[in-house]
Chain A
Amino acid sequence: MLTYTIRRLILAIPTLLFISLIIFLLLELAPGDPMAQVPLTVPPEVKQQMREALGLGEPTHIRFGKWMWQFLVVEPMHFVDGMLGTGFVEGESRVISWQTRSPVMDIVAQRMPQTLWVVAMSYVVGILIAMPIGIYSAYRQYSVFDQVGTFVTMVGYSVPPFFSGVLVIVIFAVQLGWLPSIYDTTLVVVDWATFKKQFMQMVLPVMVLALQTTAQISRFMRASMLDNLHQDYVRTARAKGLSEWSVVMVHVLRNSMIPVVTVIALGVPYIFGGAIITEQIFKVNGLGQLLITSIQANDLPMVQTVTFMLAVLIVLFNIIADILYGVLDPRIRYD
């Protein structure tokens, strides 16, 4: 297992290098000029110097190499410096955002908590709702609960987040006025009142994202339970006189969880992608919103870095899913 993990991690490196090259070359074609906002009174030679200060004067491959070096070596070392108080990369230049002229990773670190809170919460809530629905509708196949559950999950699967988000705003924020529609990220939780406020503003975005997760995972859960419920070992367990609860919740559930856990792992990067739209609707200033604004503002280092981080997430969770499969199912041996 360990050798398999190591092999997969090593194989991921060329994939990620290639992906970063694709993103870089794509952004290289970008038509915009970062100097477009600079006033016309600035003389051209000063503009040229500013351009070089942004690292634009050099040829493509040098800049790509520089970005790789800054992102993969300088940034992690800087993080280590910050943690331990050492000075490995004191004078090295970091990846600088064109928009704000500050290091990209600092902005990402500022935006990350909001996204993580909303995304992680919604994923957990979605899974917690999806599992019982999937288990029960498989256990009572073709019952009313199953029919309704299947229809509701199909609807949840089909309604895109940009409609469900707007719809819950119309219902809960405009018509009923129960919940705020805008996420206030400056809120700091210090006491019960602010905690309540934080909770209230998280309900809607979490609800929208969780709907999607619930729909997908309960469909998988149901299908996987159905596969297992008619196996021979289930009959054996019942024949031994085990209670129905332990047959379904211990024997069948554990076996059905194998594909579902991998689906849960594979879905993590996509929930970040879905968060781009949800953040836009609820005005959460998280990573997704950062990506959209930097795309619109032609802030190429920012776009490159955030997109690449998403790619790393996808590759990483693919590996995690494969390893989990091997850990959970002893019949699968990779070595």
Chain B
Amino acid sequence: MTELMIDPEPDTPPRGKWSDVWDQFKSHRGALLGMFIFSVIVLGVILGPFLWPYDATFIDIRARNQGPSLAHPMGTDQLGRDTMARMMAGGRTSIAVGMTAMLLALVLGSFIGLVAGFFRRIDGPLMRLTDLFLALPLLPLLLVLVLLFREPLNASFGPELGIFILIVVAIGITSWMPTARIVRGDVLALKEREFVLAARSIGTTNFRLITRHVLPNVMSPIMVSATLGIANAIITESALSFLGLGFPPDFPTWGRLLYDATNYLQQYPERVIWPGAAISLTVLSVNYLGDGLRDALDPRIRGR
């Protein structure tokens, strides 16, 4: 009489990929701190204006050019507007521009990378297009684009939304190339794998093949380039604002605040510190976040 061999039931549920990723991510202290700081900044600029008593555009001419005090922790500017409120409003715009431009670049880059990697016939032309975009001098072109399309977009969408759309689109269409290249490389390797062949042999259409089998497998490089894309977009927007070609003066962004503060560099040097530190801290935390994410999503490093 032989007993049936029964496999012992595992006590713990199987570990998914994402819990492994999270474990690896947790071990990267800089990345954890970066994520924390970035969340604090994002929450601060979203919720801050609701809690803060002053409005970013409220002018109190009698309280102008004040240093830091209890009522105005970051002081006031030359028109008596509260710098703290302006920083929060500016951060809202800067981070919104960064996120939206990153999303646009990501969608564009992933789409071009997927299509180029998957369909051999259009691979050549699409990659030549990518090389061409990589060879363009981007900052001069961004400046030209902003100058050219500011007026027509202002006329049709209003000065604030118009410049927002313009800057987001301009940054988006000039920063999708690295994502496209990375995604294409990964897709080319994935396409030769057995599970793609298996899916194809049961009659999966190209569209389903891409959305169900290929796209989930290229999510990790896309996520890493997403974090780096935010940092890049925030810096580019601030650079445009700093050169005086960004948002209008009464509509603060961090770059614009820095630009305005440089006029008072001799008298009130502390004014440039706030927006500059905010930009740098955001970019630094996002870069650390991206670094940790890259390590966590790389299966060769994970589990070591």
A interface vs B, CB < 8 Å? 15, 18-19, 22-23, 26-27, 29-31, 151, 154-155, 157-160, 162-163, 166-167, 169-170, 174-175, 269, 273, 276-277, 280-281, 291-292, 295-296, 303, 306-307, 310-311, 314-315, 318
Contacts and interface: CB of A to CB of B under 8 A. Distances in A.
Contact of A276 (B139, B255, B276): B139
Contacts of B152: 31
Contacts of A280: 242-243
B266 interface: yes
A-B CB proximity, top 6 nearest: A163-B276, A310-B137, A158-B284, A158-B283, A170-B269, A162-B242
Interface string B21-64: 00000000010000000000000000000000000000000000
B148 A155 contact: no
B265 interface: yes
Contact of B136 (A292, A295, A311): A311
Nearest to A12: B135
B141 interface: yes
B239 A162 contact: yes
Interface in B210-230: none
B89 to A, nearest CB: 19
A307 B269 contact: no
Given A22-B136, A30-B144, A269-B137, 5 more contacts: A15-B132, A19-B135, A162-B238, A174-B269, A307-B144
Contact of A277 (B131, B135, B242): B242
Given A154-B288, A291-B140, A306-B140, A174 B280 contact: no
Given A15-B131, A160-B238, A170-B265, A155 B280 contact: yes
A174 B271 CA distance: 13
Nearest to A26: B144
A149 to B, nearest CB: 13
Contacts of A27: 144
Interface residues of B, number: 42
8 contacts: A19-B136, A31-B148, A155-B284, A163-B276, A276-B139, A280-B242, A280-B243, A314-B137
Interface of B: 30, 131-132, 134-141, 143-145, 147-148, 151-152, 231, 235, 238-239, 242-243, 255, 258, 261-262, 265-266, 269, 272-273, 276-277, 279-280, 283-284, 287-288, 291
Nearest to B255: A162
A218 to B, nearest CB: 15
B140 A276 contact: yes
Contacts of A174: 265-266, 269
Contacts of A157: 287
A174 B273 CA distance: 14
Q: Which of A29, A157, A158, A310 has the most CB of B within 10 A?
A: A158
